[in-house]
Amino acid sequence: MELEVCQVDSFTTELFRGNPAGVVLNAEGLSVAQMLGIARELNNSETAFIRNVPGPGYDLEVRFFTPRQEVPICGHATIAAHYVYARSRGIREGTIVQKTGAGILPVEIHPVQDSPGGPEDLRVVMTQGAIEYGRLIEGEARADLVRGLGIDELDLDSSLPIQIVSTGHSKVLVPIASRYVLDRISIRSELLSSLSARIGCNGFYAFTFDSGEATSLVSGRMFAPAIGIAEDPVTGNANGPLGAWLAHLGRLDIHEEGRSFVAKQGEAMGRTGHITVEVFGTGREPRLVKVGGRARLVFRTKITL
């Protein structure tokens, strides 16, 4: 079996920035054990496996694996997968419907003209899964979270709670008072991993409105040591829930035509990337979230099994 394998940097237009993901373009014949083995070998936070088998209501299936386990969906790996899929199929614009562990979801391909007369590239926008608001992190769990991040209670943004929110893959949303505090987070992996088991959520997204950029609403960092991700550079399935949550709490005005903002992530890792979040709904009732961004192909190769 010969596999087409790519490495792609998502949410960036620069090589070696943003969030790297593996992509296997022809994964139809792979077992779960083989997909896990490939994900472990590529050693990205996630690898996307495209199964080119259409079904009722979808064009293809995509499965996502960390080096340790399968996850229902992954934002940056979705951007990566559909960026190289569209390029390999000559798709310049349109919608591809993917079946994932978070449901059947559309992915939009948009042409981008970088400069007048310059080469045309692609922008990928994914619709995320159902919005779900989970438990508030309070009491002992909150104290353990603060210790696990290596910060103090006073370093938190007290105007917002800490809460689990999902748009397909849940994250703990942790508001931080300043960029200074965000930059000096140094996690204790064992504490966060233990807390993940207790609360049923593996990802911790710390963010601040003190982004340092006029064009970015927030700056963030995402940690998931329980599934082998010490830190993730730019996370679609963290910033998507964040958009829905901010609208739900009245911190982001939304409407049916959509409200968008840009989030910056990855600075602490030297892999800065930017992600656009779109939230659709009315008042404090978001009904749909999309995340989108650019990508760069790092390499393309073949593996023979």
Active site residues: 46
Strand partners, 168: none
Neighbours of 88 (CB within 10 A): 16
Q: Which residue has the tokens 């790519």?
A: 6
Question: Within its chain, how far is the Cα of 283 from the centroid?
Answer: 25
Q: Which helix (H) or strand (E) holds 275?
A: strand 273-282
Give the torsion sign (CA, 122, 56, 99, 167). positive
Give the torsion sign (CA, 256, 257, 258, 260). negative
Which distant-in-sequence residues (6+ apart) come within 8 Å of 161 by Cβ? Answer: 136, 137
Closest CA to 149 of 170, 117, 172, 115: 172
H-type helices in the chain, by residue range? 32-42, 75-89, 139-149, 179-183, 189-199, 236-248
**CA distance to 76, 130, 207, 256, per residue, from 217 (Å):** 19, 23, 10, 20
Answer yes or no: are the C-beta atoms of 262 and 242 closer than 8 Å: no
Phi, psi of 125 (to 5 degrees): -125, 125
Phi, psi of 108 (to 5 degrees): -100, 140
CA–CA separation, 68 and 227 (whole Å): 6
